[in-house]
Every structure is written in C-alpha cells, then in structure tokens.
A and B are shown apart, each in its own frame.
Chain A
Amino acid sequence: MAQPLIKKDDDRDDEDNYSPFLGIEKGAVLQEARVFNDPQLDARRCSQVITKLLYLLNQGETFTKVEATEVFFSVTKLFQSRDLGLRRMVYLIIKELSPSADEVIIVTSSLMKDMNSKTDMYRANAIRVLCRITDGTLLTQIERYLKQAIVDKNPVVASAALVSGIHLLQTNPEIVKRWSNEVQEAVQSRAALVQFHALALLHQIRQNDRLAVSKLVTSLTRGSVRSPLAQCLLIRYTSQVIRESGNITQSGERPFYDFLESCLRHKSEMVIFEAAKAITDLNGVTSRELTPAITVLQLFLSSSKPVLRFAAVRTLNKVAMTHPMAVTNCNIDMESLISDQNRSIATLAITTLLKTGNESSVDRLMKQITNFMSDIADEFKIVVVEAIRSLCLKFPLKYRSLMNFLSNILREEGGFDYKKAIVDSIVILIRDIPDAKESGLLHLCEFIEDCEFTYLSTQILHFLGIEGPKTLDPSKYIRYIYNRVHLENATVRASAVSTLAKFGASVDGLKPRIFVLLRRCLFDSDDEVRDRATLYLNTLGGDTEIDNDAKDFLFGSLDIPLVNLETSLKKYEPSEEAFDINLVPKEVKSQPLAEKKAPGKKPTGGLGAPPSGPPSTVDSYEKQLLSIPEFANFGKPFKSSAPVELTEAETEYAVNVVKHIFDTHVVFQYNCTNTIPEQLLEDVIVVVDASEAEEFSQVISKPLRSLPYDSPGQIFVAFEKPEGLPTSGKFSNILRFIVKEVDPTSGEAEDDGVEDEYQLEDLEVVAADYILKVGVSNFRNAWESMDPDSERVDEYGLGPREGLSEAVNTVITLLGMQPCEGTEVVPPNSRSHTCLLSGVFIGGVKVLVRLSFGLDGAKDVAMKLAVRSDDVTVSDAIHEIVASG
C-alpha cells in the first residue's frame, strides 16, 4: 500500500533536483557518441555528447579499453569542425581519455597544426594537450615550437608551454634543460603568471646546482618580481639558499634576511605570510629576527578572514614549541580566538596558550577547553591532550585539575589513538608526580571497567600490577582487577590473572585472598587463563616466604633482546639436549634504524616503558653495557647522554656517540652506520686523542669486527677519570678501518681490503654530563628541607647578552639541570627573573639551585647563584662550573 506514497516522493524529488543528467546511462551515451561520425557535424550536439561523456567520467564511471579507444577515434574526427567551443571540449576529452602511444599518433598532426594556429586559444590548449599525452620521441619534433611558445607574447600561450615544461621535466629532463635561455627570458615577462611559471621551471632546471640557484636568488631579490605567487616562490628559494649556506656572516647578519624582512611589508597578504613563515622556520632563529614576523602574524590573528587567522595561529603554534617567549605578546589576541567559530583555529589557539601561559592561567584555560572538547575532531583532541601533559609536567602543583580533566575526557567517546594518548598521559603523570599516583590509578581502574580496546586494558592491567602493590591500600584495586576476569575476553582475562599474581607476590596480607581468586580462574574456558592461574598458584604456593626466584619471575624483565631469542629458538632443533636460554647472545646486534632517523627526539615513555625509574633508553643502554664483560666492574652508569652526531648528515659513514658516565670511568659508545652499499668495513676502531683531556686515561677500546651496509654497529672506548669529580675534557676522534669492495650483484665481499680512516668531529665531556635532570614538585619545600649550612651564594657578571631569556637558557644548558615550576620562561620586557633548577649530581647527591638574574644597564646581565645540596663540596662544585663556564 506504500507504493503510491513513494512514487509521489519521487516525483517531487525530480522537480526539486532536476538534472540534465538524470537517468544517464553509459551504454546510451556511447551510442549517442556516433554523431561524431556524421558527415555533417552538428557542433552543438557533439559538444553536449562530450559533456555527457565527461560527466560520466567525473562521476567515477570507467570505460573499458575497447570503449575508450572507440570514443577516442570518433573524437579525432571532430578536428574537422571549425567550431571553437567544440574544439575546447575535444581537447578536454582527449586529456581525460589519456590515449595510448599508438593512438596518440592519430591526433598528433591535428594538434601540431593547432599549435601553430593564429588563434591564441588553440595554441595554448594544443600545447597542454600534446605535452600531456606525448612521449619522448615526439617531443624532439615539437621542441622547436615549444621554445617559441615560451617567449610567445600571449601570456596564456607562454604559461601553457612553461607549465607543460614543468611536467615534462620529470620524464624528459635532458630536453627541457635545453630551454633555459627561453625560460630565463620569460622570467622577465611583464605578465604575472608567466613570471611565476617561468621562475618555477627555471629553479627546477637548476635545482641541483647550488651556485646557480644562489645566483638566481641574488639577482631576483634585487629586481622586481611582480606576481605575488612568484614572490612566494622566491621566498621559498631564498630560505632554501639560507638553509644550505648555513652560516651567519661575520657581522652577525644572516644573508638575505633583509629581503625576507622587506617582504613582510609587501601589499599581498599571501607574500607577507610566506615571508613570516619563512622567518619562523629559519635555523636557529634569534628573537630579534623573529620579532617583525611575529608582529605581522599578530595582526593576522584579528583578521575577519578565517583562512588568515588559521594560517597565523598555526604558525605561531609552531613557534611556541621552540620560542614560547616570543609568542607571549600575542596572548591577548590568542585568548579571543578560543571562542572562534572555526574549531581548528580555537584548538590551535588553546594549545599555543598552553605552551606560553603561566601557572595562574591554567584553571581558566582548562575551563574553556572543557567547553569545546566535544566539538572537535580526534586528531585535534590528541594535540590538546599532549599539550596538557607537557603543561602538567611544567606546573606539577596543578596536577589535580589537569588529572581531573584527563579523567573526564577519558570517559567520553573517542577512537583508539585518542584514548591511548590520554592513558599515556596519565601514566606519565603518575610516574613523574608522586602525589598524582593514587588518583591516577583509580581513574585508570575506572576506565578499564568500560574499555573497548583490549590493548589498552592489558597495558593498564600490567601497569597496575607494578604500581598498585606499592600504594597505601593495595586491596582496593583487587575488585577492579578481578572484575576483568569475569567480564572480558580471554586476552584481558589472562593479563588480569597475571596482575592478581603480582599483588599476591608483593603484599603478604593479600596472599590468601588472591589464592582464592586464582583458584577460581582454574575453571576458565580459555586455556591460557587456566595455564597462568596454575603457574602462579604453584610459583606462589606453599606457606613459606615467597622466595626471590618467584619474585624475579614475576617482576624481572627478560634481559635478552627478543630478536636474539627468536633467532636462537628458530635455530634450535628438537633433540635430547634442552634449549638453554643462557646460550642466547645478549649483545644487541643492531639498533633500530628508527632511532637514528629521529635524532634528538626525547623518549616519551608511555605504557611501553617501565613505569618507574629511569626512562627506557637509559635502561636499554644499561643492559647493553652490563652485557659487556670488560665494563662489568665499572658499576652502574650514572648517566647516559643523548646521542651527539659526529658526522654531517648524508655522509658516507654516519657516527654518533653516547657518553656513559660512571663513578670512576667514562665510556663512549660510538654508533656507526655504513651508508655505502658497495662497501664492507672490517676491524673498525675509533682512535681517540685525549691530549686535551689530561685527567682522562684510556683503558679499554672495543672494536667492531665488521660493519656491513646499513646495519648499525657499536664501538666502545672507556676512559678512567678521577672519582666523583665533574672532570671535563675534549677528545678528537678518527674512525680507522679496513674497507672491502662488495659486489653489488652477489653481495660477496672481496678478500683484500685497504686500510683507510675517516675524520670525525670532536667530542667534549662537560660538567652537565655529571648532573641528572631530576625535577621536584614543590621547590620551596625541597629547598627549605635542605641544610641551610650547605648553601653557597655568589654573584656573577655575565656580560652583555641578547636578553634575559638567552642568559637563562645558557646557564640551564651549562648546568644541565631540570628547570622547576616553569621558571625557565622569562616574561617579556622583564628586568629581572628568578629561575629554579634541580638535579642529582654524580654520586647521587641532590642539588637545588636558585638563580636570580637582573639586567644591569642596557644589555649586561648579572646573576646571583644560590646552591643547596646534601654535600657542601657539591655546592662548591656547582659554583666552580659556573665560574669556569
């Protein structure tokens, strides 16, 4: 009975959305295409049919090879017509059909005729079509015409030829490169777009010739580039030249900076923005260089155009990561953007404010964020979560409101990546802020009650097993964990069983109750769950004290790289002899390339990393070092530095070094990568010259037997040094090895090798290497709990400086300590500033530093340094570092 109703609806729909293509069908249109073959062509009708064909293609319809060929052949007949409108459609459909090489020949002569037509529109379009469908052989025939077209006085024709040149450069570079004289002439064209296209092509022709590009930029920055698009290109090329030249001239001026700065006053917003972006992207940009760019971006923030506001806030957001101080001036404008209609702009504004804001604004910001969190896309939410995480580490006292915020958003809807970002953040806060532990763990417990992601559930259960028993009242977590055993899938149930066992092993009082729960798991439907329960019952069983073996088994991590274990297991053949885990090599064969690709990227930890204690990389270094017998008696490493690159990027051999500091020794770990496929390096050593490091004496050098292509290896060199002192020194390094040619086809190396060496950059051990960055959550309390007698105070003149913030950063880097409570950020225009630092000195001595900076005169900076520590000699040592730095 519903029939008539539907029909009625359909009718109305038809009226509303009348479309000339309603009910269009491929078969019928292909039939219609026969009119192309009529002896008397009806141009109007042919145009309509072509439009229909294009409509079909545009809607995603595909033609079979046969259909396409048929259409193509009949279309070629339309060149007979002199109707201009039809010809345009013919050009269009030929491009869409992208005919094969043997078909192209048929239209070539027609198109070549059009290329030489008197009609500009014919010439321009014929060039674009021909260049699109042609191959190399034909190109040589038409090259002459193309060169002419580049300097054609009609700008449309010239642009058509130049743009085609840009495309052809990818396939036939040697031909296009011959046109550079004509292209150069076109760069001087008065037509804006021709200049833009010519500049783009000229740069691509010369892009591998640094000198030529530099010359091009030099001449054009002086001259007059008319088109805004061309000017933007020029800015990009200029910043490329700046990047490659790398150094600042002796006068302290960056070459071409003046040009970029002058572009900030261009009349086109596109150019102004391009220049501002280029300046903020400069390597090691100073705050003086940044200021004019920030000023124009600030103006854009209050523009009525969303695109302009977005562009500005996105760029400022990036700047805030590296130069938060430079952006604080924009905070007022930025705050008004929080309520921007466009959510992308609002998110970027908020995360920028989170980076630049101070402690007092946190609560207000959080309130505003909560209001709009539900409106934005997941990827933006992740950005916000990450910003909040770093904010919380900066202002540990604010953990309560931030933790609340995180737990609230954890309860809302969201995808896996978003949820993982939140959970990771909570885990990091629990790890770094002891006060946040209890509440954070409970939030995680609540989350797994209703978590759809198995991966997250198991990770949280694992984390609970380690952290839960250490809390004041571990029993309250048991309920949450045991609930999982009832309600979840097998994977989660199994990890819940493991977590229960960990509670049983660590908390004696809970043991009998855990046993009851574990026994119930023996009847689980899944064998892994049953197996685990049985295993743990037996390990923990008996009424005696749980012995160390059981604890090791539950909590100890596997000290063998999993890759090695896997290879050993694969090699193992079933026989009488049992598999012996002690025979698995402990040396790490190769570091993952990913680590090398992201130098300087700090380990962020998260769930994968051990939840307490040192971050993961240090942990893995430690294992690696302990597995080398020669270093066994050095003790535990105090600190391992971040990798320092000793070679330029993209050289034959890539080497970086990690400095491991021990009580009486220093070990340099050289991570080497051979980037030449045709070479195998053998007996690789690093010859270290310590003549500028008198207090160090070399004790061990552990060479690398072979270093094949793209498989990183490590060389270790160990030095003895005075115990417990922050001894510094400079070392020069040479990589020495025997190089053997490798046959690229077989991969075999030749027998004979040649000895060779490779100069590496110098390496320094500085005072900061002896201090661990360890933050405190409440500096004042920590400071007052230290013995006032250990305090050492002195004043220093730092001489003329760029500004207060530069002076603060220099001292922080010199000491290598952790800034507390966000005091590393200097408010703009302030004349004085106090910075709080904390750290642990070699020997495990806690150190707190209070730095008071003041501007003396125009640029001179004076500093008062107060140090408290558990050991007076350490306080003195800190002063010594500053005095000699």
Chain B
Amino acid sequence: MAPNGLCPSIKNILLLDSEGKRVAVKYYSDDWPTNSSKLAFEKFVFTKAVKTNARTEAEITLLENNIVVYKFVQDLHFFVTGGDDENELTLSSVLQGFFDAVTLLLRSNVDKSEALENLDLILLCLDEIVDGGIILETNGPLIAEKVTSHNMDADAPLSEQTLTQAWATARDTFTRTLLT
C-alpha cells in the first residue's frame, strides 16, 4: 500500500488464539511480504504480549519500530499495529472498535470456537473497520450494524430471506437493544 501522507494508517489487525495461532488476520502494509514473515511477526508479538495482563484495559508496546496495542478476552487475543509515529490513541480506538464489534456480533460469547463458527462475520467486520490501511469506522456498534445490515435490508423481499436469517435478524436486533 502506498504511503498516505499524514493520514493515520493501520499496518495490520490480528485476532489470535490462546497459542498465538491465527483466527483471522488482515495485513495492510508491505512490511511483511511473505506468509512466513507474517507468521514470525505474529509469533513475536504474541510471545511478547501474552505475559501481560491486557484483560481489563488495552495494553501497548513498541516492537521493531511498530506500536502494537492489544486486548485479550477469554482465549482470544486482539492486536492492532501501526507505525511508531502513529497516534497511540488512534490505534487504541481502532482496537476498541474491533473489540466492541466482535463482542456484539458474537453476542457476548467471545471465545475462539464462537469466533470460528462465525468467521464470516469476523471477516466482514475486519473489512468494515479498515480499508487498505485507512480507518473506515471506529465505533463498535456501527461496525456491527454494517456487518449485519444485510439481514434487515428493506430492499430485499422478505420471502427471499430464509427462516434462519429472519430469526438471526430478530435475535440481533434484540441483543443490540439490550446492549446499547
């Protein structure tokens, strides 16, 4: 991705499991050109971060001239990486947005098996947060809404929605009203 001047840019977003294995990752920068360099970075970040307690508040560290902010819940580990001149609070707002959106999408059952069951939602969620390194949205509920919006789109006739979808829609709406 070409440099975007002074605009804040995200280098990657990672969602790893309790062993540091990928659940879902997305890279926006050329800093890690091969899959093996990506894996090496993930391993490095994970081993550095896993010792710390990032469960109540997001934690932060500086690794290889990158700022990494991270937050853990259950067996899931959320990471957001940016350059070392990035505003730390911007990165943490992206992390918080990702975290909140995933919590909403997984209906507060935030763990690895639930995330894998709903991998499509997680991937869509990543797609809605950052586009090519540029921040699209940092508000968790809005991100979750964009991901699930297809379920209640007025444009599509109801007859075409399957029963499961209709049920999921109802459940989503219900959860969101409860949570917000």
Give chain A's interface residues, CB within 8 Å of chain B.
Answer: 17-21, 43-44, 47, 50-51, 54-55, 58-60, 62, 82-85, 87-89, 92, 95, 117-119, 121, 128, 132, 156, 159-160, 163-164, 166-167, 170, 193, 196-197, 200, 203-204, 207, 229, 232-233, 236-237, 240, 269-270, 273-274, 277, 304-308, 310-311, 314, 341-342, 344, 377, 379
In the assembled complex, the Cα of A60 lies from the Cα of B43 at a distance in Å of: 14
Please tell me which one of the listed residues B35, B90, B119 contacts residue A51 in the complex, with CB atoms under 8 A apart. B119
Query: What 1/0 mask marks residues of chain B from 137 to 178 whose CB sits below 8 Å from any chain A CB?
Result: 110000000100111010110001010110000000000000
In the assembled complex, the Cα of A236 lies from the Cα of B5 at a distance in Å of: 10
Please tell me which one of the listed residues A51, A58, A196 contacts residue B25 in the complex, with CB atoms under 8 A apart. A58
Give chain B's interface residues, CB within 8 Å of chain A.
Answer: 1-2, 4-8, 22, 24-25, 35, 38-39, 48, 52-53, 57-63, 69, 87-93, 112-113, 116-117, 119-120, 123-124, 127, 131-132, 134-138, 146, 149-151, 153, 155-156, 160, 162, 164-165
Q: How far is the CB of B133 from chain A (nearest CB, A)?
A: 9
The answer to whether B160 and A83 touch across the interface, beta carbons within 8 angstroms, is yes
The answer to whether B124 and A128 touch across the interface, beta carbons within 8 angstroms, is no
In the assembled complex, the Cα of A43 lies from the Cα of B88 at a distance in Å of: 42
Instruction: Name the CB-closest residue of B to A380.
Output: B62
Q: With A83-B160, A159-B136, A342-B59 given, is the CB distance from A232 to B8 under 8 Å?
A: yes
Please tell me which one of the listed residues B119, B146, B164 contacts residue A156 in the complex, with CB atoms under 8 A apart. B146
Please tell me which one of the listed residues B4, B6, B52, B89 contacts residue A273 in the complex, with CB atoms under 8 A apart. B89
Question: Given the complex, which residues of B lie within 8 Å of A21, measured CB to CB?
Answer: 116, 119
- Can you name 6 extra interface pairs (CB under 8 A) apart from A21-B119, A344-B60? A20-B119, A121-B150, A163-B136, A305-B92, A308-B89, A344-B61
The answer to whether B87 and A232 touch across the interface, beta carbons within 8 angstroms, is yes
The answer to whether B127 and A84 touch across the interface, beta carbons within 8 angstroms, is no
Q: List 7 A-B contacts (CB under 8 A).
A: A20-B116, A47-B120, A159-B137, A163-B132, A200-B4, A233-B6, A308-B89
In the assembled complex, the Cα of A47 lies from the Cα of B153 at a distance in Å of: 18
Please tell me which one of the listed residues A58, A83, A196, A307 contacts residue B89 in the complex, with CB atoms under 8 A apart. A307
In the assembled complex, the Cα of A342 lies from the Cα of B156 at a distance in Å of: 50
In the assembled complex, the Cα of A121 lies from the Cα of B153 at a distance in Å of: 9
The answer to whether B150 and A84 touch across the interface, beta carbons within 8 angstroms, is yes
Q: How far is the CB of A389 from chain B (nearest CB, A)?
A: 21
Question: Given the complex, which residues of B lie within 8 Å of A232, measured CB to CB?
Answer: 8, 87, 90
Question: Given the complex, which residues of A lie within 8 Å of B112, measured CB to CB?
Answer: 17, 19
Q: How far is the CB of A222 from chain B (nearest CB, A)?
A: 20
Q: How far is the CB of A798 from chain B (nearest CB, A)?
A: 39
Q: How far is the CB of B58 from chain A (nearest CB, A)?
A: 6
Q: With A82-B156, A119-B155, A307-B60 given, is the CB distance from A44 to B164 under 8 Å?
A: yes
Please tell me which one of the listed residues B120, B135, B155 contacts residue A89 in the complex, with CB atoms under 8 A apart. B120
Question: Given the complex, which residues of A lie within 8 Å of B93, measured CB to CB?
Answer: 270
In the assembled complex, the Cα of A237 lies from the Cα of B8 at a distance in Å of: 12
The answer to whether A54 and B87 touch across the interface, beta carbons within 8 angstroms, is no
In the assembled complex, the Cα of A270 lies from the Cα of B91 at a distance in Å of: 10
The answer to whether A200 and B134 touch across the interface, beta carbons within 8 angstroms, is yes
Q: With A88-B124, A119-B153 given, is the CB distance from A233 to B7 under 8 Å?
A: yes
Please tell me which one of the listed residues A166, A237, A273 contacts residue B134 in the complex, with CB atoms under 8 A apart. A166
In the assembled complex, the Cα of A605 lies from the Cα of B89 at a distance in Å of: 38
In the assembled complex, the Cα of A400 lies from the Cα of B7 at a distance in Å of: 48
In the assembled complex, the Cα of A204 lies from the Cα of B6 at a distance in Å of: 9
Q: With A17-B112, A163-B131 given, is the CB distance from A200 to B7 under 8 Å?
A: yes
Q: With A84-B151, A310-B88 given, is the CB distance from A166 to B120 under 8 Å?
A: no
Question: Given the complex, which residues of A lie within 8 Å of B164, measured CB to CB?
Answer: 44
Question: Given the complex, which residues of B lie within 8 Å of A314, measured CB to CB?
Answer: 62, 88
Please tell me which one of the listed residues B5, B8, B53 contacts residue A229 in the complex, with CB atoms under 8 A apart. B8
Question: Given the complex, which residues of A lie within 8 Å of B165, measured CB to CB?
Answer: 85
Please tell me which one of the listed residues A51, A82, A156, A167 contacts residue B160 in the complex, with CB atoms under 8 A apart. A82
Q: How far is the CB of B22 from chain A (nearest CB, A)?
A: 6
In the assembled complex, the Cα of A78 lies from the Cα of B5 at a distance in Å of: 38
The answer to whether B59 and A60 touch across the interface, beta carbons within 8 angstroms, is no
In the assembled complex, the Cα of A359 lies from the Cα of B8 at a distance in Å of: 41
In the assembled complex, the Cα of A47 lies from the Cα of B120 at a distance in Å of: 8
Question: Given the complex, which residues of A lie within 8 Å of B57, measured CB to CB?
Answer: 304-307
Question: Given the complex, which residues of A lie within 8 Å of B90, measured CB to CB?
Answer: 229, 232, 270
Question: Given the complex, which residues of B lie within 8 Å of A270, measured CB to CB?
Answer: 87, 89-90, 93
Question: Given the complex, which residues of B lie within 8 Å of A200, measured CB to CB?
Answer: 4-5, 7, 134
Q: How far is the CB of A272 from chain B (nearest CB, A)?
A: 9
Please tell me which one of the listed residues B22, B52, B63, B88 contacts residue A59 in the complex, with CB atoms under 8 A apart. B22
In the assembled complex, the Cα of A54 lies from the Cα of B124 at a distance in Å of: 11
The answer to whether A193 and B137 touch across the interface, beta carbons within 8 angstroms, is yes
Instruction: Name the CB-closest residue of B to A304.
Output: B57
Q: How far is the CB of A299 from chain B (nearest CB, A)?
A: 14
Question: Given the complex, which residues of A lie within 8 Å of B35, measured CB to CB?
Answer: 60, 62
Instruction: Name the CB-closest residue of B to A60.
Output: B35
The answer to whether A311 and B24 touch across the interface, beta carbons within 8 angstroms, is no
Please tell me which one of the listed residues A50, A166, A344 contacts residue B62 in the complex, with CB atoms under 8 A apart. A344
Please tell me which one of the listed residues B2, B87, B120, B153 contacts residue A170 in the complex, with CB atoms under 8 A apart. B2
Question: Given the complex, which residues of B lie within 8 Å of A17, measured CB to CB?
Answer: 112-113
Instruction: Name the CB-closest residue of A to B18.
Output: A17
In the assembled complex, the Cα of A118 lies from the Cα of B156 at a distance in Å of: 11
Q: How far is the CB of B59 from chain A (nearest CB, A)?
A: 5
Question: Given the complex, which residues of A lie within 8 Å of B123, measured CB to CB?
Answer: 51, 54, 58, 92
Question: Given the complex, which residues of B lie within 8 Å of A307, measured CB to CB?
Answer: 57-60, 69, 88-89, 91-92
The answer to whether A88 and B150 touch across the interface, beta carbons within 8 angstroms, is yes
In the assembled complex, the Cα of A584 lies from the Cα of B119 at a distance in Å of: 70
The answer to whether A377 and B48 touch across the interface, beta carbons within 8 angstroms, is yes
In the assembled complex, the Cα of A55 lies from the Cα of B122 at a distance in Å of: 11
The answer to whether A121 and B58 touch across the interface, beta carbons within 8 angstroms, is no
In the assembled complex, the Cα of A83 lies from the Cα of B150 at a distance in Å of: 9
Q: How far is the CB of A296 from chain B (nearest CB, A)?
A: 12
Q: How far is the CB of B162 from chain A (nearest CB, A)?
A: 7
In the assembled complex, the Cα of A18 lies from the Cα of B115 at a distance in Å of: 11
The answer to whether B113 and A18 touch across the interface, beta carbons within 8 angstroms, is yes
Question: Given the complex, which residues of B lie within 8 Å of A269, measured CB to CB?
Answer: 89
Q: With A44-B162, A229-B90, A270-B89 given, is the CB distance from A203 to B5 under 8 Å?
A: yes
The answer to whether A128 and B131 touch across the interface, beta carbons within 8 angstroms, is yes
In the assembled complex, the Cα of A627 lies from the Cα of B131 at a distance in Å of: 60
Question: Given the complex, which residues of A lie within 8 Å of B162, measured CB to CB?
Answer: 43-44
Question: Given the complex, which residues of B lie within 8 Å of A54, measured CB to CB?
Answer: 119-120, 123
Question: Given the complex, which residues of B lie within 8 Å of A203, measured CB to CB?
Answer: 5-7
Question: Given the complex, which residues of B lie within 8 Å of A197, measured CB to CB?
Answer: 134
Instruction: Name the CB-closest residue of B to A119.
Output: B155
Question: Which 10 residue pairs of A and B lie closest in terms of their CB atoms, listed nearest first?
Answer: A84-B150, A60-B35, A311-B88, A170-B2, A270-B89, A236-B6, A307-B92, A119-B155, A200-B7, A51-B120
Q: How far is the CB of A434 from chain B (nearest CB, A)?
A: 38
In the assembled complex, the Cα of A666 lies from the Cα of B52 at a distance in Å of: 60
In the assembled complex, the Cα of A718 lies from the Cα of B59 at a distance in Å of: 60
Instruction: Name the CB-closest residue of A to B153.
Output: A84
In the assembled complex, the Cα of A21 lies from the Cα of B127 at a distance in Å of: 21
